Structure 1
């Protein structure tokens, strides 16, 4: 099972996360009880769950009315919450909530240039924000979503200006921008604040992997959490739970056009980039401006290797720029290397077979090239014959095991 948090239409706020999780089926009574327990030191709150129609979509809205609070220091907030923890709050959920507040505090510290111990929470220090965070963490664990991989789609930030205690300020808020600095985001689609610091902090602590598009899922179920504003589109956060038909991983794609690089340099580039850690390298003949023939260099890399291999491409080719497509997810088969001994021209040879599976079903097999090449040289026969006979021997071996 996998989980997808989808804030690409209407952004994300703390109460939207809470509402979407309740809409997805989290225990309402347990969630409300935990919220009331944790907020009791900060004043009385009134929690009302209602079904709203947002742009034609039925969604849950958690309306929380709380007394206005003065600012509170981060360290004091954490101390109060730790002393308040009830038995029904899972340890993992409590740790998640503490990480959310730490994310908020670190962002505020960087933005205002103060130490973490000196951070004051203003808007997020009120009882309603504590209720959003603690309730969301409890509901997340109540649904057992912590046991599944969580994907995050790009976050809609909104735009324009908003009034604060410090005067007019651009949207997104500085703390929101700081929290989401390493995640895929997009501006608009309205001149309103769609993503709040609390929503952003919940998002980065819940998500395991970011992606541009929804992974392939079956047996989907969605929860819709309504925001406060009425917009010209559904103002909802969507959280989806479903089964993934194929395993996925995350990669980045690097591309550049080359039209003034010699064949010798291009030939050496393959080995150089693979040695640098590229997952795959391909060169595609293209016709460039002024009808010049050239090549499109496309390199698949792990996200953490993006900058290093981009620099290697620039140094090796002299290109003026490398296009980066980050947060690309790919569906992959489960892979296994199976050793095989098979008879070839009266001799028994050992070769490794790469096997791709979906569950227990074998989808694809491929004898290891280097093993096949060495056997072909030894036996003085074409490599294609070695590959063909090894493949046949493997499937015969598999069929015999299934019969037994």
Structure 2
């Protein structure tokens, strides 16, 4: 099971996360009680939930109205008040981590110590309600037992009015909070990602992906934002069975027309030894009808520069093309050992089993095991492969 948080279009805010989780089944009556109680230690808020339509999409709007403004607290005093709330320990701990994310970002942006960050920079009573509410819904839906995947966040653009004056969008604190995340500019001249929503997102997500992985959706929740655009200002959260794995790879390629077959074979093995995930060589026709080869290498990001360095040194090429952050779908796999009888002898054979949508899509015996059996029994390799494959149960 997996949870996909999708802020690619409408951005993200604390109340949008809560709305989407209510849409997925979180108890809105209990949420209202918890949110108003938590905020009462800092001010007073009134919480309500409403089903609304945002550009044709039915979504849940969590309205948090601050009816009594809170005084200004320094960060340490603020955290002490959060920790004193009569709530489950795991809710308090995660909420504190979220506020620390915001406070650390603010302290870096303003060049101050964490202790000097003021309450209004961390969040007023409505932000307390948002964070506590989102974390309560997180545990109410048992999201801590699922993988949570975050897709890129739409940030918006233009300028926004803050306690520190007019700042560019995304606000500096948002940029600081979202370090390491995938972000998108636009698509409007307006703020789409708030510091509170961004901090909750970073705390919730186990994995950050650039593209939606292979999934089998079970339920979808939509949390509405307060703004109206020519697109739906909603956050989408998908509960799904993850039917395929995926990762990010870099694809590196270059054309070759001056190496011999032996040299290309050496290069092939060399690149695999140096950390390439896969290497392929394809015959091509180059300019002026010269015969050549297309060398394509799949590499993880952390070894990409090393692989490129090896290619330049070994090939002497003048140019290498790089397609970074390419999403690669991967079937789930496992290795299973089986005892198989061939020609009245018993052999241990390792099978590579591939799964997609929880169904077996391939079960192949390892070549080296088939080779050993063929050499021992003097049977043709093709026949051994057929016998072993047919006997897999």
TM-score by length of 1: 0.85
Cα distance change on mapping 1:101 and 1:353 into 2, 3 Å: same
Distance 1:129 1:373 in 2: 65
- 1:10 is aligned to 10
Q: How much does 1:5 deviate?
A: 0.7
What SS does the corresponding residue of 1:330 show, helix, strand or coil? strand
What SS does the corresponding residue of 1:231 show, helix, strand or coil? coil
Q: How much does 1:96 deviate?
A: 2.3
Q: How much does 1:357 deviate?
A: 4.0
- 1:333 is aligned to 332
Q: How much does 1:312 deviate?
A: 4.7
Q: How much does 1:381 deviate?
A: 5.2
- The aligned runs of 1:180-195 (5 Å cut-off) are 180-195=178-193
Cα offsets for 1:315-364 (capped at 9, x unmatched): 555565552432725241331221334223x5544432223345885432
Q: How much does 1:19 deviate?
A: 1.4
Equivalent of residue 139 in structure 1, options 129, 137, 151: 137
Equivalent of residue 225 in structure 1, options 219, 223, 231: 223
Cα distance change on mapping 1:260 and 1:121 into 2, 3 Å: farther
Cα distance change on mapping 1:47 and 1:313 into 2, 3 Å: farther
The answer to whether the Cα contact below 8 Å between 2:332 and 2:355 also exists between their aligned partners in 1 is yes
Distance 1:130 1:171 in 2: 23
- 2:74 is aligned to 73
Cα distance change on mapping 1:291 and 1:255 into 2, 3 Å: farther
Q: How much does 1:377 deviate?
A: 4.3
Q: How much does 1:261 deviate?
A: 6.2
Distance 1:319 1:101 in 2: 50
Distance 1:99 1:297 in 2: 47
The answer to whether the Cα contact below 8 Å between 1:26 and 1:139 also exists between their aligned partners in 2 is yes
Cα distance change on mapping 1:329 and 1:110 into 2, 3 Å: farther
The answer to whether the Cα contact below 8 Å between 1:71 and 1:122 also exists between their aligned partners in 2 is yes
Please provide the CA RMSD for this pair: 2.9
Q: Gaps spanning 5+ residues in structure 2: where?
A: none
Distance 2:181 2:154 in 1: 11
The answer to whether the Cα contact below 8 Å between 1:7 and 1:154 also exists between their aligned partners in 2 is yes
Q: How much does 1:225 deviate?
A: 0.8
Q: How much does 1:207 deviate?
A: 1.5
Q: Does 1:47 align with 2:47?
A: yes
Q: How much does 1:129 deviate?
A: 0.8
Distance 1:82 1:215 in 2: 37
- 2:256 is aligned to 259
Distance 2:64 2:90 in 1: 24
Distance 1:33 1:157 in 2: 31
Distance 2:293 2:74 in 1: 57
- The aligned runs of 1:273-352 (5 Å cut-off) are 273-286=271-284, 294-302=292-300, 304-306=302-304, 309=307, 312-313=310-311, 316-317=314-315, 320-321=319-320, 323-326=322-325, 328-344=327-343, 347-352=345-350
Q: How much does 1:165 deviate?
A: 3.8
Q: How much does 1:232 deviate?
A: 0.8
The answer to whether the Cα contact below 8 Å between 1:155 and 1:186 also exists between their aligned partners in 2 is yes
What SS does the corresponding residue of 2:229 show, helix, strand or coil? coil
The answer to whether the Cα contact below 8 Å between 1:283 and 1:297 also exists between their aligned partners in 2 is yes
The answer to whether the Cα contact below 8 Å between 1:354 and 1:366 also exists between their aligned partners in 2 is yes
Q: How much does 1:236 deviate?
A: 0.4
The answer to whether the Cα contact below 8 Å between 1:210 and 1:327 also exists between their aligned partners in 2 is no
What SS does the corresponding residue of 2:65 show, helix, strand or coil? strand
Q: How much does 1:256 deviate?
A: 2.5
What SS does the corresponding residue of 2:31 show, helix, strand or coil? helix
The answer to whether the Cα contact below 8 Å between 1:253 and 1:298 also exists between their aligned partners in 2 is no
- 1:205 is aligned to 203
Q: Gaps spanning 5+ residues in structure 1: where?
A: 399-404
What SS does the corresponding residue of 1:391 show, helix, strand or coil? helix
The answer to whether the Cα contact below 8 Å between 1:357 and 1:364 also exists between their aligned partners in 2 is yes
